Chains A and B, each alone.
Chain A
Amino acid sequence: MSCPFIAMGQDQVKGQITDVSGLGLPGVTVMIKGTTTGTVADFDGNYTINAAGNDVLQFSFIGFAAQEVAVNGRSVINVVLEEDQQSLDEVVVTAIGIKQQKKKLGYATQEVNTDVLGEARTMNLGNALSGQVAGLTVNNPTGIFQSPSFKLRGKTPLIVLDGIPVETDFFDISPEDIEGINVLKGGAASALYGARGKNGAILITRKNAAKEGLTVTATTSNMVTAGFTVFPETQTQYGNGSNGKYEFWDGADGGISDGDMIWGPKFEPGVEIAQWNSPIRDKQTGEVIEWYGNVAGTVYDDKSRYERVPIAWERHDNLKDFLNTGVVSKNDFSIAYQGDKSRFYLSGNYSYQSGQVPNTSLNTGGLNFNSSTELTDKLQLDASLSYNKVYSPNYPRYGYGPKNHMYTILIWMGDDVNGQDLKDHMYVPGLEGYRQANYNYAWYNNVYFAAYELNQKHNRNTLDGKMKLKYQITPDLYVQGRISAREKRLFEDMQSPKSYMNYGDSRNGDYKMWNDNQLNLDTDFLASYTKSLNENVGLTVNAGASSFYRTYQQEYASSDGLIVPWVYSLSNTQGPVQASNYFEEKAIRSAYGSANLDLWNSIFLNFSARNDWSSTLPTSTNSYFYPSASVSAMLSEFIKMPKAIDYLKVYGSWSQVSSDLSPYSIYAAYNKGVTYGSTPSVYYPSGLVNSEIMPEKSTSFEAGFSTSFVQKRLTFEGTYYRILDENQIIDLNVSEASGFNSRKVNGNEYTTHGFEAMVNFAAIDHNKFSWDIGMNWTRYVKKITDIYGDNEKFGNLKVGDRADAYYATVWQKSADGQVILDANTGLPTRDPYPTKIGHLDPSWRLGIQNRFKVGDFRVDMDVDGAWGGLIRSLTIEKMWWGGKHPNSVLYRDEEYAAGQPVYVPDGVVVTGGELVRDVDGNVISDTREYTQNTTAVSWQTWSQIYPYRAQVTEDESELFANVYDRSYFKLRRLSVTYDLMNIMTSQKIKKLDLSVYGYNLAVWKKLPLLDPDYGNDDNLQDPSSRYIGFTLRAMF
């Protein structure tokens, strides 16, 4: 079949063109660059062409990415063509593992470019999905061992690993093992997963051997933190204390304002103050004793004889000193073999992370085995087994409280505190093991003591086994059965030293332990029949049944105090040991089927149906049905398009999905209450159950198109969707006077409208330089469109409100919006009515992936961000209160010099009249009269009230705002990859890719001090670190 063109005076070059699996590719066009000379490969992919030693060959084929290879005097050039990501003929994995050509899909799916994920690593695979997929939102916490959270079209998607739904935080999945990630966005896409897939799904497929023979890879990837992309700057001029004064005695207001607050004296040369690390002087003998912490209960607790010697009042850069360089090191190997009848893939990985917080680390590792064997011509057995371990001897604690180092250092520790001394002297002299040395004994821990002496362990073993047997009865018909078991065993404990401060817990040390065990058992059966009825009509019918069964069990025990310090054992308890256990099981059984009809290879119809029976719903309502239908049409096959348009596909889908409850939610049961002495008690829960609850219903409609121009130079895909959530299982709040806070009902209706757009553009396509841009944009708005029982309000929400409307506590304002101040005190008063000040979710999100090829170098640059929406900052509020906010320095000197308040807040004082409102806050009458405020207020008082006790938007006051615009854009990733084999030669190594990359490199944002990429600011996050690293990947 070869049809060589005539070429004069040149050498013959030949070779074979294959796909990645090693199969010969027939019909590939081979051209000599810059000429019209060319040929086409034969049935086995073999070609022969006459070319000069300095020519460049171009290989191109529909559905595959074009490639250019310089001849360089060679006579045999074998080429592997990779499938083109943008191709419509490309096959993707869809629900329950059914493979479909892209052009046949009547709903939106999007694949993630996994090669970049492998090269430029993140702390967790989930982070790497940020900005990659239209409609998929990833929130990225910054601390070690914090897992990202996902929202797909505003809902939490199902994670499917090798065809089986799993619950994972991604720490037990190595990015090296991943073959592909496909995101199924709408209800129609994932309807076949039933209740679990009602919010869309992220399908992750792990690798198997893809190439004849043996392939061995080894990869190492290492990255470190390199400074901070966002660092919370604080004021650096004033230390602990209040009203400009401070002196340490017992760290609990026994000295001068030594119990709390950073409104103390200014750091100035020559200032000396008694501090927590001041030596003690015996006033009688003049002896000076080195000391750290308070003196309570010691001989020195006698002010008539002893005093703390004032020492220099200086600033320390405690947060930067506290944080270490974070390290992430990951090592993977894999062995893949493909023979005649079987193939297998074996991989191992080990990864080590050490956190920025001292004494924190995370180890993960695993072994995965994946095999596929043709037992006979018709019978194929796939089996896989994987074991993964996630182990952290200690990881940081977040949240607003004394366990969090950020709470202590950032918000509540003045810069006067000498961090090095905290680190070197964690205990009060002579009280080692019993009392920490600290600058404060009311609210906070010595942050090094807390980091080193409190340890919380996480030890998780996940064992995952799968077997699939596929029987090809006839070429048109196959049946398969699958079974999967995934067991997760988790041991956690927390070892709290004596004198450790956690509000509400014992100060006498503490040991707590948890044992969790979860088993998921999934079995399913599928029969599939494909038939071409004639050349214009093709039919595929699938039918299946599945069963899902899960058990979860937990045991918990805790001590009450410790007798001997540092011995973390339940038998070392002072009081009685508290213990509890819990068991839960759940099952869903399902039957499903789907039918695909292909007409003229250009119109594709799909119908699917599934029925679930769930154990968690009442017997009368526990059976529910999911229908879906979709259509896809290649319009370009019917209508003559301009030449520039390669194709035009339109599609649409409709589906209805349902969901059930968590176990044991349809009967009321008593909960265990306090045990007084040895007398036990129970209490009745505040939520009313409903034994007639029905499944929820979500109906999605989606329509979209995809097209490409100028031989795929530009492709464009757009989708509109509407989701109607009805019959929601809601905990409807009721009057507390009914005895209950809420009751479970089916009700409320939410309508979500969303748009997603994806563009791929080959902006520059030169031999030595190319630039490809992938861009995705998404916007959705979810509104409450009907409220249960025709009520006017659901919580604060009214019909027509966005579901993410932000009803905030604000200050009372005059009719024209000025803050009303108290005539006596000059202070504002909170409005008892919550006020809508905007919405929390961004208005839209954007992700951009750039790929540059410069010679043999490949550069990937990803940017993503969000626009609009509000974020409330707890950090900023608390910084104002505590006195660490950069702006809190403003009037301090002036006021301390004057000896009286100097700051006159902007606002009005009511001189008469009153405001009357109904229960919805609507004004019935407003006869208030005002004058401008003239009362000066203590600056510290104002700072502790106005920007802290209620929400202040940027519009209300730029200076004191604690609610900000969420908009940001982030340079998420920059990586450069180069195959070192271009400059090296080796018989053994086929490929040696070196990638150098940076992650979380830079951000533009409107929120000061913090990174809005966290999602919210309720837990006081670590500073947002910049990572740089390299990956070396060898293929043998």
Chain B
Amino acid sequence: MKNILGILLLVVGLASCQNLEEMNINPNLPTETHPQLLLTNIEWDAFRAYRGTSPLYALKMLVQTDGENANQYYKWDRGSYGDYGVLRNITKMIEEGERINDPSYVALGKFFRAYYFYNLTLTFGDVPYSSALQGEIAENYSPAYDDQKTVFEGILTELKDANAILEASNNIIAGDVIYGGDMLSWRKLINAFRLKVLQTLSEKEGEINLSEFASIYQNQPLMENVEESGQLVFLDQQSNRYPTFNSSGFSSGMYMDSTFVQRLQEREDPRLFIYCTQTKSAKEAGKAIDDFSAYEGGDPAAPYAEVNEKATQGNVSKVNDRYHRDPVNEPYMLLGYSEQQLILAEAAVKGWISADPQALYESSVKASFKFYEMYSENYGSYVTEEAANTYLAKPINNFATAMSEEEQVQLIIMQKYLQSFFQLGWTSFYDHHRTGGYPSFRRPAGVDIPYRWIYPQSEYNYNAENVTAAITRQFGEGNDQIDEMTWWLE
């Protein structure tokens, strides 16, 4: 009988033999990785960032009819620091790139850092930059805020470095789902983005060295055609599909804004047919797709119940079905050739570079038409090159008829705006503030267009000292409001 007891004791002993420490090594996940795996994830995130419907309400392209949309009525409050989550992966990619001595990942890391910090600082004003993202390495859990000027200077330096590193390197970048690892294409995109950042700071001449713009234009590679656009192509495969594919939101309570529809109608812009549907009444009346009068929007400044009333009468267009029925639809552009050409056109108008603004303007419009010809199934015939030429010849779109610098800039900014549907994020919103209110945004009387978002509640809770200092120095104590202007606009 003692044998049985002995066996039992033996079993207890056996179960205890395994090493406790070894048992706690995770067999499912790696602790180290090649940076290429991070790059794919970063690209997937970064090229989809700032898209979706939110900016479209603020840009007067959409109206909501089953609830009060904060963006539509400019009643938003706090923004989010979610971008720092992607920046964490970018930080790790740079670390892993340095670990395996591949500087190209460091270069792309710098580009993506610049891209996110550019958007962060425009969203809020001062943000943590130089001491940000050091939670793991330096155990800095409540980073100090840098003033916006420092952030912009840092962005420009990082972009410059990124271009220089890639210029000196001749690796093929593995894990790159945008350009298949082609370094020259990346340099073109990075340089175009440098132009965008510099142009954003057009009001800061004297404080920021804007002559770099001309130097980039003259000495660095830029995108040469629509195929070189920095864009993410969607695939008809689980979790690779167009982000709003099957999205229910498109089927109720979401309609086109009259502002956007009218702007397209006034210009007889065939992209109208690609962006939205005919109104129900127009369809029932048998109007053709390319009949501009078949489209109508809802008033973004009216109480939403009124717009809903108009919609129930069948007189408001919706977003074109392809945005939620086509699994791949169109690529998302982080920065496309057509936007780059408009950036250059504006610079040419202002004399930053010596180039023909009209040619640049026209190349942009043609590129945009080409983009939709390539990607909008069934609508390609409305946006052929011939259609683009006809479009550009119309007096309202004709660059040659614009006399003053202001009129020229307005034509350029309007084109950028017209290309923004599900594409350029908040670009036109920032252009509006930079150009002193162009394009205009319709809103109820007495409502001002905010300049920024309130800092996240999480900063109030976990980084109170630093965020308080940043608020006080920018806007005065406790004055973290959406209608406060930040440095780049001052």
Interface residues of A (CB under 8 A from B): 242-243, 245, 252-254, 256-257, 259-261, 303-304, 375-376, 379, 381, 441-443, 467, 469, 471, 479, 481-483, 501, 503-504, 506-507, 521, 523-525, 545-547, 549, 558, 560, 575-576, 578, 581-587, 589, 613-616, 619, 622, 663-664, 666-677, 679-684, 686, 688, 733-741, 743, 792-793, 795-796, 823-825, 827, 829-830, 832-834, 881, 901, 916-920, 924-925, 937-938, 940-941, 944-945, 949
Contacts and interface: CB of A to CB of B under 8 A. Distances in A.
B136 interface: yes
Interface string B315-347: 000100000000000000000000000000000
B206 interface: no
A500 to B, nearest CB: 12
A940 B460 CA distance: 35
B168 interface: no
Contacts of A674: 40-41, 44, 239-240
Contacts of B40: 673-674, 676, 679-681
B351 interface: no
Nearest to B454: A832
A920 B464 contact: yes
A733 to B, nearest CB: 5
B308 interface: yes
Given A735-B459, A743-B141, A941-B305, 11 more contacts: A252-B251, A525-B12, A614-B20, A669-B31, A674-B40, A676-B43, A735-B142, A735-B462, A740-B88, A919-B459, A919-B471
B5 interface: yes
A525 B454 CA distance: 61
Given A243-B309, A261-B66, A683-B41, A736 B81 contact: yes
B462 A667 contact: no
A809 to B, nearest CB: 10
Given A303-B283, A677-B240, A941-B305, A738 B133 contact: yes
B238 interface: yes
Please name the 8 residue pairs, one residue from A and one from B, whose CB atoms are nearest each other, closest first.
A259-B252, A442-B251, A738-B135, A481-B8, A252-B251, A681-B40, A260-B252, A669-B29
Given A676-B240, A734-B142, A737-B81, A824 B446 contact: yes
B477 A916 contact: yes
A545 B466 CA distance: 52
A688 B136 contact: yes
B20 A941 contact: no
B314 interface: yes
Interface in B125-162: 127-128, 132-136, 140-143
Contacts of A443: 248, 251-252
B305 A682 contact: no
Nearest to B135: A738
14 contacts: A304-B284, A443-B251, A547-B12, A549-B15, A670-B38, A672-B29, A675-B239, A676-B44, A681-B39, A682-B33, A740-B88, A740-B135, A919-B480, A945-B67
Contact of B30 (A261, A558, A670, A920): A670
B5 A242 contact: no
B68 interface: yes
A796 B133 CA distance: 23
A581 B240 CA distance: 21
A131 B388 CA distance: 76
A677 B240 CA distance: 7
Nearest to A482: B8
A185 to B, nearest CB: 30
Contacts of A501: 248
A920 B460 contact: yes
A677 to B, nearest CB: 6
B31 A670 contact: yes
Nearest to B35: A682
A442 B252 contact: yes
B303 A670 contact: no
A682 B312 contact: no
Contacts of A917: 478
B10 to A, nearest CB: 10
B456 A736 contact: yes
Contact of B85 (A260, A688, A736): A736
Contacts of A938: 303, 305
B265 to A, nearest CB: 22
Given A243-B308, A503-B248, A614-B20, A682 B132 contact: no
A481 B81 CA distance: 56
A379 B3 CA distance: 12
Given A673-B41, A734-B141, A832-B77, A615 B21 contact: yes
B24 A664 contact: yes
A676 B8 contact: no
B436 interface: no
Contacts of A677: 177, 235, 237, 240
Interface string B399-411: 0000000000000
B477 A670 contact: no
Interface residues of B, number: 108
Contacts of A925: 478
B28 interface: yes
A521 B37 CA distance: 38
A866 to B, nearest CB: 30
B28 A583 contact: yes
A950 B247 CA distance: 25
Contacts of B303: 825, 937-938, 941
Given A471-B5, A549-B15, A830-B77, A738 B33 contact: no
B89 interface: yes
A684 B89 contact: yes
Which of A260, A684, A740, A944: most chain B CB closer than 10 A? A684
Contacts of B11: 483, 523
Given A674-B40, A681-B38, A681-B175, A941 B304 contact: yes
A670 B177 CA distance: 20
B467 interface: yes
Nearest to A561: B238
A525 B175 contact: no
A827 B68 contact: yes
Contact of B464 (A525, A622, A919): A919
Given A243-B309, A483-B8, A670-B29, A919 B37 contact: no
Given A242-B308, A481-B5, A523-B12, A585 B252 contact: no
Which of A254, A441, A546, A734: most chain B CB closer than 10 A? A734
A524 B12 contact: yes
A92 to B, nearest CB: 27
Contacts of B84: 736-739
B66 A469 contact: no
Nearest to A589: B16
A739 B132 contact: yes
A681 B37 contact: yes
B44 A442 contact: no
Interface in B73-109: 73, 75, 77-78, 81-82, 84-85, 87-89, 91-92
Nearest to B67: A944
A834 B446 contact: no
Nearest to A664: B26
Nearest to A944: B67
B212 interface: no
Contact of B235 (A471, A676, A735): A676
Interface in B238-263: 238-240, 246-248, 250-253
A734 B143 CA distance: 10
A303 B141 contact: no
Given A619-B20, A734-B141, A679 B252 contact: no
Nearest to A794: B461
B66 A824 contact: no
Nearest to A740: B135
B305 A737 contact: no
Given A376-B1, A442-B248, A669-B30, A793 B461 contact: yes
A793 B247 CA distance: 38
Contact of A916 (B88, B309, B479): B479
